[in-house]
Amino acid sequence: MEFNLQGFIDVLTFQVPWMEANFFWVFTSVAIYLLLPTLIIAWLIKISSEANEAMTEEERQIAVQQNKEFNVTALKLTAATLVGICILVLVIDGIFST
């Protein structure tokens, strides 16, 4: 594999198998794939902790209640989506199995 920017892009986008690519580009790609999510998670944790420090106890209780309501709604939506997907798969399987 050539040592150029196109080679890096090919490795980063999985167009070239990593076993056949330049080791430096593979190392750089792995570092990017690990570093970006880590930085985003660290930033989100920092923002969350700053927001929690600024809240009063009453605001925290309201936030907890809102989170519970959101979690229940998200769970219902996920269940409905999964049931819909299962029904869709069964219907498509029934149509194309004949």
pLDDT of 54-90, one tens digit each? 777 788 788 888 889 988 999 999 999 999 888 888 8
Amino acid at 62: I
pLDDT for the residue 98: 61
Question: What mean pLDDT comes out for the span 89-97?
Answer: 77
Integer Cα distance of 6 and 12 in angstroms: 10
Amino acid at 46: K
pLDDT for the residue 2: 53
Amino acid at 7: G
Residue 56: how many CA atoms within 13 Å on its side-chain side? Answer: 2
pLDDT for the residue 16: 86
Integer Cα distance of 25 and 8 in angstroms: 5
